[in-house]
Amino acid sequence: MSNNFAIKTIDLTKKFGNFTACDNLTFEVHKGEIFGFLGANGAGKTTAMKMLSGLLSPTSGTAKIADYDIYKESEKIKKNIGYMSQKFSLYDDLTIQENINFFAGIYGLSNKLIKEKSEVVINELDLKKQQNKLVGSLPLGWKQKLAFSIAIFHNPAIVFLDEPTGGVDPVTRRQFWDLIYQSAERGLTVFLTTHYMDESEYCNRIAIMANGKLAAIGTPKELKESNSSSSMNDVFIQIARGKNYV
Amino acid sequence: MRQILLIIIKEFKQIFRNRILLPLIFMMPIIQLLILANAATFEIKKIKLAIIDNDKSHISKNFAYKLQSGDYFKIIDYPNSIKDAEKLLETNSIDLYIYIPNNFERNLAKEHTEKIGVVVNAIDGSKAGVSFNYLLNNIASYQSELTKTFGNKINLQIAQSPKIISNDYYFWYNLNQDYKIYVVPGLLVLLITIVGIFLTAINIVREKEIGTIEQINVTPIKKIEFIIGKLLPFWLIGMFELIFGMIVARIVYHIPVLGNPLLIIGFASIYLTLVLGIGLLISTASQNQQQAVFISWFFMLIFVLLSGLFTPIENMPPLVQNITLFNPLKYFIEVIRLVMLKGSTFSDIKLQFFMTTLYSLVINSIAILVYRKSS
Amino acid sequence: MFNGFLGFFKKEFIQIFRDKKSLLILLGIPTIQILLFGFAITNEIRDVRIAILDYSKDNTTKEIISKIVSTNYFKLYKMLRNEKDIERAFQTGEIKEAIVFSQNFGQNLEKFGKANVQFINDGTDPNTATTIIGYTNSIIGQYQNEITRTRQIPLIITPEVKMRYNPELKGVFLSVPGLISIILMLISAMMTSISITKEKESGSMEVLLVSPIKPAVVIIAKVIPYAIISVTIATIVLTLGRFVFEVPIKGNLILLFAEITVYVIMSLSLGILISTVAKTQQVALFISLIGLMMPTVLLSGFIFPIENMPIWLQPFTYLIPARWFIVIIKNIMLKGSDFSTILNETLVLFLMILVTISISIKKYKIRL
């Protein structure tokens, strides 16, 4: 069965003991979409993302990622997604080229392909001179861009980005978003979490989480209109506050 | 297969780039063998002795001289009173003192028997026991000498036609009673166990801590591939250290290898899979490196204490002896001693081979089952 | 300033106590160790497996064999048929000693008043072999005395022995002081060095250092919880030793804990020193393991007597804090010594603290 959804979840729930981190999440993400997940710290964004990327198994509910079932076909999903975590997670003590070789190799790319493609990627990122330097010696912004490029190196259908621009300066953040747009134009679905409100305006659609529940979903424009606010910041404060007081 | 290779290459690069870890991994065998082998000795010689000689007779002086002449005792002082001797004992200047009463020679001539006092610092119980036994042997041999010389002088009657069972004793496999021959093979086992458990446990937890493990867990790599790729480098390092250590032991301490060295290497190759499996289990159970170190240290200590490395397992109570059946170190230490020092063959160590293989299968199955790419 | 210290101190405590697993192990290690040392580690010989090769098979040898086997020390594993069997029995690791009676043993003893027996020992462990020979020898000696009743040794020197400080020669008397010194080193030095390096690694150290709290206060607040845990563990070991294994505490309890505190401070300053050098936890761990733990176990005189070590190695033991501390604690606990007898050792520890802290401060300043 083929449809237009890259991600489709029904009642996806994760409990840690008595605590419900994600409560009956039901939503869809279209193919080629940039989909933002917003929420305060501890709202359940990261948990949701970890379930979708196969790092956590859900307590109940179902989800399909790139038309694969997250229970039965998790290994197939892994071939078709990329992931970049909140923590920078390339190897500091390997060089740029070695990190690329390692991760691309794990995804089963041939040596020839890795060689060709890494040349392109390194040129795009303007890292030619640093190619054989240890990743640990790079500034954080470059590391993040590199991590993103490595996460999508194997041409996944969907990439998951967990607060990808945390701690990065505004200029680099802009460049990072350029990278995201370029990839989305090539048909990549981007699923990201963030707590920068201005970033949420860059997304095609966003979902706002509060206390483990999906509080609102729609395009930035729709959300602003339905909450009669002028900025996403106000929308967020209204929704997150409102839920907190319930 | 290619995935495994990728991880192995990555691990080796990281190890060889680590300025501290690398020298440590290769310094360890040398330090252990050079310092440990010399430090780890229970040889008891030159026991420090003081004599309170209230008699100051020919016999009492002669007795002191006899004690001094062997390899075992060294007379430090001749204190005048028990109080002085006790002071020496308290300050650890001596290990024991002997009190010779006045009229020692006269009473011996008259009564044919006399008592002397011996006080031993017994804080180290086993050393005290052995020291006192040496003293008893010395007294016994002095007695019979005295009977001949002094006894003749005072016209003692000696029994006719005694029956004497003479004995010869032999120290097989270690003619010179060299403690290093006993300790060094065991140290080799200790060495590769420490390297195997600690390095493995810390290594995987470290990836957890810095977050790279997540990046690997979202990839399609199979967990068995990941585990093999992670463990194999340490297996190779362990094997290298063992062989390197055996060569050092041979050159520096002339420890013989009577049996087939390949038998030891073969056993080690299985043993290391067991040790690495334990390290893997520990790393699965810990959240951070500090915890991993704790748990490793905890098991290492129990393993070492109950391995027979320093104190023979036979001396332990039966219950504890049963516990040692679960100690991987015990089997390898038995095997390495048997093969290196006694020239045992495969059929002699079948049981240890079987137990270690079985143990390794069980531990590694558990480790692989418990290891999760997702939670 | 004091509030800052208190707040920081609280944070450390919360972090340590939240990690239940580590805490359990921290307290479990000493408990299990002291029990193991007390129950399992003995140098007493018993049930030694022996084999006998009897070429004579007469009444005399039978009597001797039954004497040997009837003791608790020996267990007859096998009667052998020829010399070749001896080597086989050793190679399988089944026996520790083989006793060989020559042909016509009884006859020779009767006729010529002389017969010979051989003890062949597994010499790989020389101490055990020596002890086993001693035991076998005394059994045969007794038998010899029994059959020559008419003979007496006319001159007898009887030693009356007192085993001072440890009349029953318990091994655990030595283990309690040794264990305390090693565990305190493990927790105070190794754990603090790892814990401080962890903050450096995760970057939280920088955050703390730019806060108005002085660096020294940060460090002190960081190490005090470990000091408290260390002293608690020392108390556990002392209590278990006292009540389970009857290891006495003869000296002054206050003096004992004062000295323990000095040693803990020594260990903590070593931990701090390591953390000024190490950049990552792994490095801190290995420096502590190889630079501290191994030397403490090996060169402190805890397990292996220092006087048995080669002369060139002995000076190195002076550098080991535990070497001095073990003397102190043994003297106070087992001999009931007063402060004057352990003055020198205490001074050495203070000197070591002084040196370690000065180096740490120097290193620290250079980095800033």
Q: How far does the CA of residue A44 sit from the closest CA of chain B (Å)?
A: 16
B71 in the same domain as B15: no
CA dihedral C195, C199, C200, C202 (to 10 degrees): 130
Closest CA to A195 of A231, A236, A160, A145: A236
What CATH number is given for C48-147 in this structure? 3.40.1710.10
Q: CB distance C313–B35 less than 8 Å? A: yes
How high is the pLDDT of residue C197? Answer: 86
Q: Name residues of chain C where pLDDT drops below 50.
A: 151, 368
B201 in the same domain as B116: no
B224 in the same domain as B129: no
- Angle C304-C306-C312 from CA coordinates, rounded to 5°: 120
Q: Does A149 touch chain B (CB under 8 A)?
A: no
Residues 6+ apart with CB under 8 A from C189: C267, C268, C270, C271, C274, C288, C292
Q: Does A111 touch chain B (CB under 8 A)?
A: no
CB of C299 within 8 A of CB of C320? yes
Task: Note the pLDDT tens digit of each residue in B298-311.
Answer: 888 889 888 888 77
Rounded mean pLDDT, B155-166:
60
Task: Note the pLDDT tens digit of each residue in B25-55.
Answer: 777 777 778 877 787 767 777 889 999 999 8
CA dist., res. A158 & res. C324, Å (int): 64
B366 in the same domain as B238: yes
Cα R_g (chain B), whole angstroms: 29
Contacting residues of C for B341, CB less than 8 Å apart: 124
Number of structural domains found in chain B = 2
What is the Cβ-side half-sphere exposure of residue C65, based on CA atoms within 13 angstroms? 23
Place of tokens 């002071």: B87
Q: How far, CA to CA in Å, does C157 sit from each of B60, B112, B116, B128?
A: 11, 9, 7, 20
Give the CATH number of the domain where residue A91 resides. 3.40.50.300
Task: Note the pLDDT tens digit of each residue in A191-246.
Answer: 998 878 778 888 999 998 888 888 888 888 888 888 777 777 778 777 766 544 43
Q: Which chains sit next to B, with 3 or more Cβ pairs under 8 A?
A: A, C
How high is the pLDDT of residue B69? Answer: 84
Predicted ipTM beyond 0.85: no
% of chain A residues with pLDDT over 70: 96
How high is the pLDDT of residue C368? Answer: 43
CA dist., res. A59 & res. A15, Å (int): 6
Enter the tokens of residue A48: 């949701």
Number of structural domains found in chain A = 1
Task: Note the pLDDT tens digit of each residue in A90-145.
Answer: 888 889 999 998 888 888 888 899 999 999 999 988 888 888 888 888 888 888 88
Does residue B267 register a pLDDT over 80?
yes
CA dihedral A192, A195, A198, A202 (to 10 degrees): 10
How high is the pLDDT of residue B279? Answer: 94
How high is the pLDDT of residue B98? Answer: 93
Collapsing DSSP to helix, strand or coil, B80 comes out as coil
Q: CB distance B36–C294 less than 8 Å? A: yes
Q: How far does the CA of residue B312 sit from the closest CA of chain C (Å)?
A: 8
Report chain A's mean pLDDT, rounded to a whole number: 85
Q: CB distance C335–B90 less than 8 Å? A: yes
Output phi, psi for A189, to 5 deg.
-90, 130
Output phi, psi for C254, to 5 deg.
-65, -45
Q: Does B44 touch chain C (CB under 8 A)?
A: yes
Q: CB distance B90–C191 less than 8 Å? A: no
Collapsing DSSP to helix, strand or coil, A95 comes out as strand
Q: How far does the CA of residue B239 sit from the closest CA of chain A (Å)?
A: 25
Rounded mean pLDDT, B73-81:
91
Contacting residues of B for A84, CB less than 8 Å apart: 215
Q: Which domain holds residue A110?
A: 5-245
Pick C159's closest partner by Cβ from B135, B162, B297: B135
B353 in the same domain as B287: yes
Q: Does C340 touch chain B (CB under 8 A)?
A: no
More confident residue, B294 or B78: B78
Beta strands in chain C (DSSP E): 48-54, 74-80, 97-101, 114-122, 156-164
How high is the pLDDT of residue A244? Answer: 46
Q: Which domain holds residue B366?
A: 2-41+179-370
**Alpha helices in B211-260, H assignment, sequence order:** 212-217, 223-253
B244 in the same domain as B275: yes
Residues 6+ apart with CB under 8 A from C326: C177, C178, C181, C300, C301, C302
In a domain, residue B166? The reply is no
Domain finish residue from B138, B153, B168: B153
Confidence of residue A78 (pLDDT cuts 50, 70, 90): confident
Q: Domain limits of chain C? A: 2-40+171-367, 48-147
Rounded mean pLDDT, B191-200:
88
Q: How far does the CA of residue C50 sit from the closest CA of chain B (Å)?
A: 12
Output the pTM of the full model: 0.79
Does residue B362 register a pLDDT over 80?
yes
How high is the pLDDT of residue A245? Answer: 40
Q: Which chains sit next to A, with 3 or more Cβ pairs under 8 A?
A: B
